[in-house]
Amino acid sequence: MSEIERPPLLSVRNLQVAYGRGKKRNQALKGISFEVFPGECVGFIGHNGAGKSTTLKVIMGFRYPEAGSVQVFGEEAGSSASRERIGYLPEVSLYYPFLKARELLELYGGLSGLSKEQLKTRIPVLLEKVGLAGRGEHLLKSFSKGMQQRLGIAQSLIAEPELLIYDELSSGLDPLGRHDLRQLLLELKEQGCTLFFSSHELNEVESLCDRVIMIHQGRLLRDLPLEAMKAECGDRSLEAFYIDTLREENAKA
């Protein structure tokens, strides 16, 4: 089935968001539109302050749009029905330092409606998947940044979501952690999970994504399948192409 026939899981239409008022007003998003279809893996790239996190926050219902609309699974963004089917990893993964890793996953799983029995079987498996086997009874205050990020990935997967939304995918992870995460995401992708993530790591985007969306200063610059993007890159790497594109845009401005 082509994308035209399939209904999108995520549909962003003319999204506009501004921070502040009056002279301090900053238009973070200036009317971006895109869609994500079931089973796709879409990378969302842009420099710091381009509007990536803001877009993800609106999709999750944390921030309200000034104009435009966002629909997730055909529901308004932020609705309980849409959040039931999403696994979200925030930009900075920090969790309650006074909780144990198991308790944290019990909390998020419980809030997603999982029973105690389901949690009992799912938590050890997830902890092992993210490389935290045997750490379930450790307090989170003893966890390093990378371990917290791994735990963040585990919490995003606890309710077996259909759509994963990750803000800064591998932030805080060491090379081994990144490799493990890539393997895990490839596995999830093979199982039919839809992935939408922002990242500064273009190698990661290249190795995981089917499609790349590039934004700059709140505007959509490119929304292309990876192969089309690579064709546009020519003999340049994705990273070199990205930098050249941003320079061209800055020169225009």
Residues forming the site for another protein (CB under 8 A)? 57, 60-64, 80-81, 83-84, 86, 88-90, 92-96, 98-99, 103, 107-108, 110-113, 152, 155-156, 159
**Which CB sits closer to another protein, 43 or 152?**
152
DSSP state of 242: H
In the complex, the smallest distance separating the C-beta of residue 25 from another protein, rounded to whole angstroms, is 14
In the complex, the smallest distance separating the C-beta of residue 152 from another protein, rounded to whole angstroms, is 7
**Which CB sits closer to another protein, 57 or 211?**
57
What's the distance, Cα to Cα, between the start and end of the chain in Å?
40
**Which CB sits closer to another protein, 36 or 89?**
89
Distances (CA, A) of 163 to 124, 181, 195, 246: 22, 16, 6, 29
Give the separation between CA 78 and CA 59, rounded to whole angstroms: 7
Strand partners, 17: 29
SS3 of 126, please?
A: helix
**Which CB sits closer to another protein, 169 or 229?**
169
CA 77 to chain centre: 15
In the complex, the smallest distance separating the C-beta of residue 108 from another protein, rounded to whole angstroms, is 6
In the complex, the smallest distance separating the C-beta of residue 234 from another protein, rounded to whole angstroms, is 39
In the complex, the smallest distance separating the C-beta of residue 94 from another protein, rounded to whole angstroms, is 5
**Which CB sits closer to another protein, 198 or 223?**
198
Give the separation between CA 193 and CA 38, rounded to whole angstroms: 8
**What would the DSSP string read from start to end of 24-36?**
G-EEEEEEEEEEE
Report phi then psi at 167, rounded to 5: -100, 115
